[in-house]
Each structure stands twice: as C-alpha cells, then as structure tokens.
C-alpha cells in the first residue's frame, strides 16, 4: 500500500510554490523597510522552553505539543510557535547587549497536535516578527502596522483587526480577583477545562468555546476595565498612533489570546471568508518573557501570521498573484549530432541568467516540440547541422509566433531585454 503523508500535514507542490515565493518576497520587503532582520532558530527545542515560555496553562502546552524523549533521554519538543525560540536565541546570543531595539523576523514550520480541519494543521507555517528592548507604544503600533501591511500587500480585503490590553503584573492580579469573585457563584456550571482555569488563569475562560462558559463570562469584568494607569496610558497612546496612521481596529475587551505570556497589547486579525478558523494572525506584547527565559528585564512584542490560512483567504477572495510570464528557452535538436553544441548553448544561456533546457529523454524532433508547447516555454531554438556550421540559430518566440536567426550574443541580448 502506498504511504501517505501524516494527518494534518501538507505537500506544497511546485505549482503552489509561486504563491509562497510571492508571500516570502513581501515578507522580506516589509522586514527590510521596517528595519527587521531575518532570524532562523531550530525546529525543536528543550521542552522546558515552551513550558516556561508559552505557559503551562495554555492549550498549546497542555494538549498540543509534539514532545518526545530523544536518544540521550532529553525531553524535546517540535516548536509549536516561534516567539519562545526567538526569545531564547536573543538571550543565548546576547543580542540584548547590543544597541536596542533588536528587531527580527522569521518564517518556518510550526507543529501542534490538534484535530486537523480546513485551516488547522499539525504542521503549518508562520511568518512572524519580534521586537525587543522598547516599552514605547510606537513599537506596538509599528508591529501591528507591519502585520496589516503584509495582508494588504498580498491584496487581501475585509480583514478585521481586534486589539485589547491584557494588563500587566500590577493590574492582572486585581482583575483575576474581580473575575474569580464574579465567577464563584457559577463555578459548578463551568466546563472542566475552565474549572482548572479558574484557579490557574481565569482570564483564559474568555477564550473558551463552550456556550455555557461564554454565557457565564459574557458580563464578567474585563481586564480592560481593571487596567492600571500605566496600562491605560499605553493602550490610549497605541490607539492614537493607530488612528494617526489610518489603521482601523475594533477594541475587543474579550480578546485575551491563547498564549500566557502576553502583557498589555494583544491583537488578532480575522477574515470572514475562510470558515471557522478565521484568525489569520495575532500577537502582542510580552514584557516578562525575556526574563523568564533567563535574560535581562527587557520587554518584547511580536506577531505571527499563519501562511496556509493567509493563502486560503487569498483563494477565497480570488486574489491573483501578479506574475510575469517567465522567459525560458527550450533547445530542440534535429539529430543526436547536435547534442553537444546544444548542451553548450544551454549552459551559456544559463550562465547568463536565462532559463534553458533541452531534451533528456531521446525524443524525436516532433515530440520535442510537443513537449516544449506543453510545458509552455517562451522560446524555442532548433539546432541542426546548418545552424552549428553558421553559428546562427532560429529563435522562436512562442507567444508572438515570430522567428529570427540570431547569433548567440544576439540571442542573449534579445532574451535579457524581454525578461
């Protein structure tokens, strides 16, 4: 029986790659214009990093991690998200000792063991950014702007940006107590997960999908209503900056996000065109994570965008990827005798940056033309004995159906001009 891919994973086939490259180019451009440098961290880490970083009470750590013992008996986890690893790398490589802020972006696969469905996979890709060393709301605004610009540059529409503040060390305990007091009479009605959350992290009850829990927390005190002065000012300044840069948002007091490390700003971007899994990206500020991972007291903020979901949204909204027809040459040979000069010509074109191929399956001339047509080569050069002797070659533009006899130098010039 044929072996299939594991549940919840995807093959990205060459045809689809065009869209991925398109997204990746936009990522790099945005990273560069905002002063973020690319970072690549390992795909697996010590399990403890995520337990400490992402938080024991998060769904990810509780239920979704790919954790195993390696042959050296270490507990290893395939990274379920990028932030904890990037923070670890920032600390381990002592980038905190450099001039601040430090701004990175990353892209790569993440792994979560959850029930696969459309838009939810066990291996999926994220594009993310992290900025360290500044508490200024201007950096929160910048990170949100980058996230929105990514979707806009891709041509997506109808995104909804939700923002909130989830408070800090000062106001969170006040809210936690207010929330527990409010929930106490309904404790028995909460789902089992939320019963556990009640003590450990009642804020997460806002995140529960159960209708009963949703109904119970509907009128509960929100963190936003308990913010300390510093967090209130921070949120207000962020709103002013977003307004000033024309970024529309919804202040969503129930937005708490699934990861435990957020402080102050939390945000999420949704699109309605892709069904239940409508979140295409999200992020927030994490002012104690660097210290928790063993670094100095330094703040950070970032976001992660799900690339498969972004692509699903692009498809749902019928966004086309601008793509110039590539210039590529097929060199057809009349007989085996022209194989060597054809090979030389192919290599000369390639060395000049022009995509070129020739037959490698011993096809007849007719079959070679058929293949070139099927594969959609932009140009075909046919080489026979006469062409080799005269060193002039018929270069056919397949789209325009025009042919001209040219030297190799002229051929290179013409093709470069058309590219």
Residues that bind ligand AMP (CB under 6 A): 81, 112, 114, 119-121, 124, 126, 258, 279-282, 304, 306, 308-309
Which residues pair with residue 266 across a beta bridge? 164, 284
- Our measurement of the distance from residue 178's CA atom to the centroid of its chain's CA atoms, rounded to an integer in Å, reads 37
Complex with ligand AMP: residue 114 or 214, whichever CB lies closer: 114
Neighbours of 231 (CB within 10 A): 22
Distance CA 268, CA 281 (A): 6
Rounded CA-CA distance 59/65 in Å is: 9
For ligand AMP, which is the closer residue by CB, 163 or 415?
A: 163
Q: CB-wise, 223 or 226, nearer to ligand AMP?
A: 223
Whose CB is nearest to ligand AMP?
Answer: 306
Provide the minimum distance between the beta carbon of 417 and ligand AMP in the complex, in angstroms, as a whole number.
42
Q: How far is the CB of 268 from ligand AMP (least distance, A)?
A: 7
Q: How far apart (Å, rounded) are the C-alpha atoms in residues 214 and 224?
A: 18
Query: Is 217 in contact with 206 (CB distance < 8 Å)?
Result: yes
What is the spatial distance between Cα 330 and Cα 162, in angstroms, rounded to a whole number? 51
Give me 219's structure tokens.
Answer: 């009128």
Is 194:285 a contact under the CB 8 Å cutoff?
no
Nearer to ligand AMP, 280 or 333 (CB): 280
User: In this complex, which beta carbon is closest to ligand AMP, that of residue 226 or of residue 256?
Assistant: 256
Bond from prior residue into 101 cis (ω within 30 degrees of 0): yes
Q: Which of 152, 144, 110 is nearest to 127 (CA)?
A: 110
- The span from the CA of 375 to the CA of 369, in Å, is 10
Distance, C-alpha 246 to centroid of its chain: 24
Q: Which is nearer to ligand AMP, 167 or 281 (CB)?
A: 281
**CB 121 to ligand AMP: min, Å:** 4
Q: Least distance from C-beta 254 to ligand AMP, angstroms?
A: 16
Task: At 354, list the tokens.
Answer: 């022009």
Q: Which C-beta is closer to ligand AMP: that of 162 or that of 309? A: 309
């Amino acid at each position: 029986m044929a072996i299939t891919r594991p549940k919840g994973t995807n093959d990205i086939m060459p045809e689809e790659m065009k869209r991925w490259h398109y997204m990746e180019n936009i990522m790099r451009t945005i990273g560069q214009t905002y002063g973020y440098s690319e970072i690549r961290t390992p795909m697996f880490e010590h399990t403890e990093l995520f337990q400490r970083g992402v938080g024991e009470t998060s769904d990810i750590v509780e239920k979704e991690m790919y954790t195993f013992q390696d042959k050296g008996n270490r507990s290893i986890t395939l990274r379920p998200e990028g932030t904890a690893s990037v923070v670890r790398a920032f600390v381990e490589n002592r980038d905190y000792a450099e001039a601040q802020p430090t701004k990175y972006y990353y892209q790569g696969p993440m792994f979560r063991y959850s029930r696969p469905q459309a838009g939810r996979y066990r291996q999926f890709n994220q594009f993310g950014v992290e900025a360290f060393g500044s508490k200024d709301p201007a950096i929160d605004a910048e990170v949100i702007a980058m996230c929105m610009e990514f979707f806009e540059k891709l041509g997506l529409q109808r995104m909804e940006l939700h923002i909130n503040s989830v408070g800090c060390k000062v106001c969170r305990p006040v809210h936690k107590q207010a929330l527990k007091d409010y929930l106490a009479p309904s404790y028995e009605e909460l789902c089992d997960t939320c019963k556990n959350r009640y003590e450990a992290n009642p804020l997460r009850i806002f995140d529960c999908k159960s209708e009963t829990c949703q109904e119970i927390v509907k009128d509960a005190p929100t963190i936003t209503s308990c913010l300390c002065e510093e967090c209130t000012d921070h949120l207000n300044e962020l709103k002013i900056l977003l307004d000033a840069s024309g970024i529309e948002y919804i202040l969503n007091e129930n937005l708490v996000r699934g990861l435990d490390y957020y402080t102050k700003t939390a945000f999420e971007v949704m699109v309605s065109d892709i069904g239940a899994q409508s979140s295409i990206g999200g992020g927030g500020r994490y002012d104690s994570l660097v210290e928790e991972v063993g670094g100095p007291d330094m703040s950070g903020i970032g976001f992660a965008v799900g690339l498969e979901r972004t692509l699903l949204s692009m498809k749902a909204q019928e966004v086309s990827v601008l793509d110039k027809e590539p210039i590529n040459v097929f060199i057809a040979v009349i007989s085996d005798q022209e194989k060597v000069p054809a090979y030389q010509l192919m290599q000369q074109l390639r060395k000049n940056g022009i995509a070129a191929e020739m037959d490698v399956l011993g096809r007849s001339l007719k079959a070679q033309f058929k293949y070139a047509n099927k594969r959609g080569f932009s140009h075909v050069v046919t080489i026979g004995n006469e062409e080799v002797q005269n060193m002039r070659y018929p270069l056919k533009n397949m789209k325009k159906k025009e042919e001209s006899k040219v030297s190799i130098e002229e051929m290179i010039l013409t093709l470069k001009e058309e590219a």
